[in-house]
A and B are shown apart, each in its own frame.
Chain A
Amino acid sequence: MPSPRLVVESWDPSYGAPLAPDEALAPSEGQVDCDAEPGPWEPRPGEDDGVAQVCFVDGVRRIDARLAIPRADGMPIPGIAGSHAVGAVVWDRLGRRSEVDHIRTRRLAVFSSGAEAEVPGEPPVSFDVESEPSDDPDRLVARFHGSMRRAEAELIAELADHGTFVIGDGPVNDTRRREVVGYVKTHRVAYLPPERAGIVGQLAPGLRTPLFVLGAGGTFARWSWYQRLPLPEVRHAWSGVVRCEAPGSLPLVDAARLADRTAALLPLVAAPVHTDPRAPQNLVPIGALERRLRHALGDQRLVYRALLHAVEGAA
């Protein structure tokens, strides 16, 4: 038996793979409606409708310190202190310039088991406090992550309310009728049934699949499509493929317009392979935004030291 062909993924290995192996394309849950957009099931070209302004929204987070509330009668209660920042790159397509804007940072401490303790400190290193009912330590990070996702969603909503076209990192989690596209870099779930999935291999950069609906019939229905970003070489069927989402409340014609636009625009901002460990999926504006946001979090050692001093000073 001949050895199967081998390919090397373009992402830096420390970021995982665009195709998560452990849950590789497991069948999706919920209903997927592949016949939502009329026409043959084949790749279709995107179309740049000349939208003047595009906003890319993303967030970064970092755990700054592990905390503990000592208890006389047993194990200390764990907690974490972390910082997250969200912001937007405003791409002025007419002026041909991009600008980072709307940076918001939050420092948050989360304690488990419903415990609460005041975390001393003064700006710019002062922490909000939340508590997580569960005593599962993994939930602390999830709770902290959720806070960042909420901040992202708020910023997306704000920008979209002003009529700006927004591309957010990750799935859409607000199905209100607005010009918002969610951008998903990794594929953990196979949404298309096997007989339809072959279309992904036929995608060229600038093309998209027809729209399909996720969570069809449910309250959280989203439009979705696959498209491919430019790569020096297509190594396997899913190389450089990303999935996008749009709110399910949009009428088909609007969703199709957004999908066409996105299919045409994303190749323009795809990261060249050598410039980003997650190229091409980590878009150029998003990569720059993440660098700026990480910078906005401040130096971790300084935050840690400030926290340490504040806690020791209060003791």
Chain B
Amino acid sequence: MDIYQCDFFLRAMAAGALCGVMCPLVGVFVVARRFAFLADALGHVSLTGVAVGLVLGIAPGIPAMAVVLAAAFAAEWLRQKERFYAEAFLAVVMAGGLALGVILISKSRGFGADLAGYLFGSLLTVTVQDLYLILGLAAGGVLVILFLYRSLFALALDEEYARSAGFPVPAVNAAFMVVAAAVVAMAIRAVGVLLAGALVVVPVLIAVRVNRSFRGVTVTAALTGAVLVIGGLHLSYALDLPPGPAVVLLGIAVLAGAALVQQAMQFKSDGSKPYLGGQEVARAGGSGHPADQAVTRGDLRP
């Protein structure tokens, strides 16, 4: 049977591609701000929302988004107040959310099959309504990110400078958190609460290895995310694997491959590090700036 004639597979590919694009779009700014753990934490915390939805008999996506949004604002507050321990506190929030979700589910019976889908994703069961919802969230998310792109970039690069230059940092952060919550809710469908963080972060880590510009990383990460989800779906079909974990493992394999290729290329070019240090400039004699050239030649050495 041709898999492309199956509606469920086509819907899964469409929903997966949208999730694959959106997760890294948020991930780029999260990773650049050195807060990648946030994505993982929000994914885990969303289990509480999923549990509330299952217990109340409503679509879990909505309570999951609400819980993730609250957790995202709490995480941002922690980041501002507890600069040095923010990640440690985030681990506490993550564990708390996960524990609460498990307790809620354990007190309610009969959700076993559903729960597995939420824990590890259930792309193959995406309905037409789900697809429309994901499409709407993705369109809204892309618009907000495009609108805020310059401000988000300035914040990711140097938040103190952005504040001093008059960027509306609290408003931009709040809007970003709303998008992040929506994206994590989408990722639950694709790869599940336990693996959502990976879909946010892994495509960004791949893109970072092959780009010099922030814009390049953003575009590459979004495309990579889509390709990984679609590739993972095919892998899942071909090898009879669960789709969510297949997507994540494919991503990690590509990341490892990219790292190996990069290492090999660096080894080939005299062991220098083209993107990750100052050697690239030094090798090229800097900017051509006389001072740079002098430094490279060692003229200014005492």
Q: Specify whether A and B are partners.
A: no
Q: Which residues of A contact B (CB under 8 A)?
A: none
- B interface residues (Cβ-Cβ under 8 A, vs A): none
